[in-house]
């Protein structure tokens, strides 16, 4: 039997306790570092092997279509270091 690839896309915020729906992506949410285990724990218990983290800064000012260019600790890095 071939191994199945299992992964989960997770959007991470620099707001630690955030759980926020993403209007343009049905059934997707942004999670703060304090809420990731709560969101991903049941999936890991069911056999989830890989999680792709996408940092979405909420506290940095946007300039046009871009976030501030001088990011000292993006939300994904902050989660990986926690």
pLDDT tens per residue across span 9-66: 788 888 889 999 999 988 899 999 899 999 999 988 998 888 888 887 777 666 665 5
Regarding pTM above 0.75, the answer is no
Q: Which domain holds residue 68?
A: 7-81
Q: The tokens of 43 are what?
A: 């999936």
pLDDT tens per residue across span 48-60: 888 888 887 777 6
**From start to end of 1-82, where are the E strands?**
7-13, 19-21, 29-32, 50-56, 62-63, 66-67
Domain count, the chain: 1
The reply to whether 36 falls in a domain is: yes
The reply to whether 31 falls in a domain is: yes
The reply to whether 1 falls in a domain is: no
pLDDT bracket for residue 8 (50, 70, 90) = confident
Rounded to whole angstroms, the Cα distance separating 82 from 66 reads 26
Q: Which helix (H) or strand (E) holds 37?
A: helix 36-45
Of the candidates 44, 43, 13, 48, the one whose C-alpha atom is nearest the C-alpha of residue 31 is 13
């Amino acid at each position: 039997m071939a191994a199945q690839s299992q992964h989960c896309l997770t959007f991470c915020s620099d707001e630690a306790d955030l759980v926020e729906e993403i209007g343009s992506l049905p059934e997707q949410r942004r999670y703060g570092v304090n809420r990731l285990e709560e969101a991903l724990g049941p999936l890991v218990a069911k056999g989830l092997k890989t999680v792709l983290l996408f940092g979405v800064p909420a506290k940095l000012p946007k300039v046009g279509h871009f976030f501030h260019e001088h990011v000292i600790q993006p939300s994904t890095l902050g989660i990986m270091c926690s």
